[in-house]
Amino acid sequence: MSLTHYLVLAAILFAIGATTVLLRRNAIIVFMGVELMLNSTNLLLVTFSRMHGNLSGQVLAFFVMVVAAAEVVVGLAIIVTIFRTRRSASVDDVNLLKS
């Protein structure tokens, strides 16, 4: 088995995550789709790191995790705030972009 398999797996996960973002309406699930996409890139980074015999990829994946954690904190806070004011966690109810 070559390392390309990891890459393909990462691509599949990424595509599934993106599809989740597009199809689901629950903001939390959409968020989980985003997390899935981040994770798939992490897998990619780790695999590349192994291919190159260089730990920079892993370090980058580490930073991605930290940033993702920060992002999750803020994102969930936003979701909670929106839920408080609108009693809904559906992204479709927040179409305030269209006045």
Tell me which residues in 60-79 interact with another protein (CB under 8 A): 61-63, 65-74, 76-79
How far, CA to CA in Å, does 67 sit from each of 35, 48, 49, 52, 89? 11, 20, 19, 24, 23
Rounded CA-CA distance 64/70 in Å is 10
Binding mask 39-58 for another protein (x = CB under 8 A): x--xx--xx-xxxxxxxx-x
Rounded CA-CA distance 80/24 in Å is 18
Closest approach of another protein to the CB of residue 41, in Å: 11
- Confirm or reject binding of residue 1 to another protein (CB under 8 A): yes
Q: Which of residues 21-40 bind another protein (CB under 8 A)?
A: 21-26, 28-33, 35-36, 39
